Structure 1
Amino acid sequence: LQTQVALARALLEGLGVGGLSVTHQAICALYAYNTTSGIVVDLGDRLDIVPITDGRLHSRGPPLGRVSRGRRRSTFARSSRDRPFRNLFSDVDLYLVRYVQQQACYVAGNYAQELRRFHFDPDSVEKSVPIGRSVSVDVGRFQAPEGLFQPELWGLDSGGVHKLVQRALQECSMDIRREMARSIYLSGGLTLLPGFAERLQAELDTLTPDTVTPKVHASPYREHMAFLGASTMASTSAFDGVCVTLREWQQQGPACLAKWHL
Structure 2
Amino acid sequence: MLALHVLASGSSGNAAVVENTATGAGVLIDCGICKRDFLNRCDEAGFDPGRIQAMFVTHEHSDHVKGLGVVLRGLAKAGNVPPVFAAGACTANSSALAKAAEAFDVRDLTTEPDAVEAAGMRIIPFATSHDAAASFGFRIEDAADGDAVGYLTDSGIVTAQAHAALRDVRILALESNHDPKMLAAGPYPYVIKQRIASNSGHLSNDQAAAELGTLVAESRTAGLRLPQTVVAMHVSQNNNDYSLARRSLEAALGDAGCCAETLCGYQARLTTAR
Is TM > 0.5 for Structure 1 vs Structure 2? no
Q: Determine which structure has the larger strand proportion and give its number.
A: 2
> For this structure pair, what is the TM-score category when the shorter chain's length is used for normalisation?
0.3 to 0.5
TM-score normalised by structure 2 residue count: 0.33
Give the alignment's TM-score, normalised by structure 1.
0.34
